[in-house]
């Protein structure tokens, strides 16, 4: 995967972040979500490179080959956003297009709030705002997104239970949020995901991510209620995914941005894995309309 890309391990404040970078042109940072790694972008990043972009695919702290901090508070979206900003500065790209799926999307939202000068545009994939999900939690949302509350239980309960059979737990997560089965995923990407999530430290990292979401991130988002992000924003979502079924997903983001457009793509939550060509094309159309 990522033939022709250069691999980096970049020291940031309190962590080291792994990423791959390739291509020449306006910089684009791609951020994965749970329970994946930068391998999510293996069939999307080369497409964007071919369209004339410099593409950086990073592992969030707590995931993949990046550091796994011990402290739950160090796994907040604010900390993750600061990591990725430091990565881009180290790579000579202080201003860039920002694309995030799932937890990567929440990191992108936080970065656009905390560091607007760095963000030329934002693409959020298949998420609703954290406070929207948590502050008006409906039974059907909790039943579908049960993992938010399971992973957030005190250590070491979820870590020990997941560690007994990580493939079963994480693969159940992959197919649980809309219109897919494990066989639908690219075999090489799945092998990369499995290698990452079998690491006990990565299991703890994912749990700390969700523990922080219910505490640190929720408080951070509440402090920023009413703020609107000026960067042009694209919301992509899976037409047959759980979030599209449970919410008017684009409408949940309208109060957060001054310039927003939305597009439904085939598939469920993991449409970037299952429909990479359509995903890359949608990103490219948006980036072309908002040059850096």
Q: In this predicted model, what pLDDT tens digit does every residue of 135-170 receive, in sequence order?
A: 989 999 999 999 999 999 999 999 999 999 999 999
Q: What is the distance between the alpha carbons of residues 200 and 76, in angstroms, rounded to a whole number?
A: 19
Q: Which of 55, 3, 1, 47 lies closest to 24 in space, CA to CA?
A: 55
pLDDT at 292: 92
Catalytic residue numbers?
Answer: 102, 269
pLDDT at 282: 98
Q: Which residues contact 189 (CB under 8 A, 6 or more apart)?
A: 1, 39, 40, 42, 43, 273
What homologous superfamily does CATH list for 6-289? Alpha/Beta hydrolase fold, catalytic domain (3.40.50.1820)
Give pLDDT tens digits for 208-223. Answer: 999 999 999 999 999 9
pLDDT at 178: 60
CA distances from 39 to 30, 44, 140, 142 (A): 10, 10, 31, 28
pLDDT at 273: 96
Q: What is the distance between the alpha carbons of residues 31 and 104, in angstroms, rounded to a whole number?
A: 5
Residues of the chain with confidence (pLDDT) below 70: 177-179
CA distances from 34 to 5, 49, 89, 209 (A): 23, 24, 25, 9
């Amino acid at each position: 995967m990522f033939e022709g890309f250069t691999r980096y391990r970049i020291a940031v404040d309190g962590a080291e972040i792994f990423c791959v970078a390739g291509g020449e042109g306006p910089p684009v940072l791609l951020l994965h979500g749970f329970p994946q790694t930068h391998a999510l972008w293996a069939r999307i990043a080369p497409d964007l490179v071919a369209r004339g972009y410099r593409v950086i695919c990073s592992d969030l702290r707590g995931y993949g080959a990046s550091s796994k901090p011990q402290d739950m508070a160090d796994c907040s979206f604010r900390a993750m956003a600061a990591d990725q900003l430091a990565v881009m500065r180290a790579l000579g790209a202080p201003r860039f297009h920002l694309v995030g799926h799932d937890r990567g999307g929440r990191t992108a939202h936080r970065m656009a709030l905390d560091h607007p000068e760095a963000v030329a545009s934002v693409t959020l994939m298949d998420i609703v705002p954290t406070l929207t999900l948590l502050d008006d939690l409906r039974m059907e949302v909790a039943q579908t997104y049960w993992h938010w509350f399971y992973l957030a239980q005190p250590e070491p309960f979820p870590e020990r239970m997941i560690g007994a059979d990580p493939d079963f737990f994480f693969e159940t997560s992959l197919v649980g949020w809309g219109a897919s089965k494990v066989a639908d995923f690219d075999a090489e990407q799945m092998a990369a995901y499995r290698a990452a999530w079998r690491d006990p430290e990565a299991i703890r990292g994912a749990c700390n991510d969700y523990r922080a979401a219910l505490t640190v991130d929720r408080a951070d988002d509440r402090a920023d209620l009413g703020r609107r992000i000026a960067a042009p924003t694209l919301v992509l979502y899976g037409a047959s995914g759980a979030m599209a079924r449970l919410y008017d997903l684009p409408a949940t983001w309208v109060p957060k941005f001054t310039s927003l457009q939305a597009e439904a793509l085939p598939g469920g939550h993991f449409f970037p894995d299952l429909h990479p060509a359509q995903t890359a094309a949608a990103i490219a159309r948006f980036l072309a309309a908002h040059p850096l």
